[in-house]
Amino acid sequence: MRAPTPAEVLFDGEAPPTVLPACDHYAGSEKLMLKSLALQQELGPVFDVTLDCEDGAQIGREAEHAELVASMLGSEHDRFNRVGVRIHDFDHAHWRDDVRLILRAAKRAPAYITLPKIRSVPDAAEMCAFIDATRRELGIAQPVPVQLLVETHGALARAFDLAALPGVEALSFGLMDFVSAHDGAIPDTAMRSPGQFDHPLVRRAKLEIAAACHAHGKVPSHNVSTEVRDMSVVANDAARARNEFGYTRMWSIHPAQIQPIVAAFAPRDDEIATAAEILLAAQAAQWGPTRYQDTLHDRASYRYYWSVLRRARSTGRTVPEEAAPLFGDAAGAGAAGTQG
């Protein structure tokens, strides 16, 4: 008989918090989409690719761009089913057409749909409901997860309510629009590093979004780094987002940013080894209290170490072979995803 896994015993019958690949890479043109998808095939599903209808589509050619996006989903370029789309915002006349065109024409539904410039909970709920109704109408069996972009005062004020919406798996922080929404009260230095981590209003926004996500088991996704030459700046931004602000995912706008971001969010080898040893001992003890190197552990710390192993897998790090049973039927170094 198979021993129960951490996912089955540590969360009181509820699903474990969502885990997504650590990097969300945006591409708007056909050339950049193909380049990004080729890199994903090379590196594996350690990062997502978001095909962008909002900023990628030319005015008047929104339908044509949505059809291009749809042609990529489920194609030979979409190997891992970790390709999402960003549609137009609630006030744009084409957002419903984006949803219809993409879900109807794609060979496979997107891994997620990102909704930009959310201003209120009712707007977000209406968009989520429309996406779900459309996928049902088209006979798509599985719900399509939704990610919300928080970049307005209204969205930030209701971050906890947005994170609680059914179907929402992540909240992303839109730094540039958020700073601009303050009409010059926040200096432009807060749009880049190190200012983006130091200005009190920006810090507050980052922390509020992260807290809302963790309260509801969702993924907080950090804004982009505007640096495209010095990857040490990008790596430092990612490390600060992870270690100081509790983010578990970050946007990328240049292919060179992807690997530094993934590396910054990945657990260290010693963390992975420790987590595996503690959880294997816990499993052997039927998830009762255990002692590891003169430190006592129980279900609270087990949940923490389970998150370490899940993050290791989502960033492509190798989990010790003996820890594979902790994932049930999964192998120790499996693909990124949201389950388990």
Q: Is the pTM of this model over 0.95?
A: no
pLDDT in the model for residue 339: 43
pLDDT in tens, 175-219: 999 999 999 999 999 999 999 999 999 999 999 999 999 999 999
pLDDT in tens, 142-158: 999 999 999 999 999 99
| Residue type (1 letter), 321 | E
Predicted confidence (pLDDT) at residue 331 exceeds the cutoff of 50: no
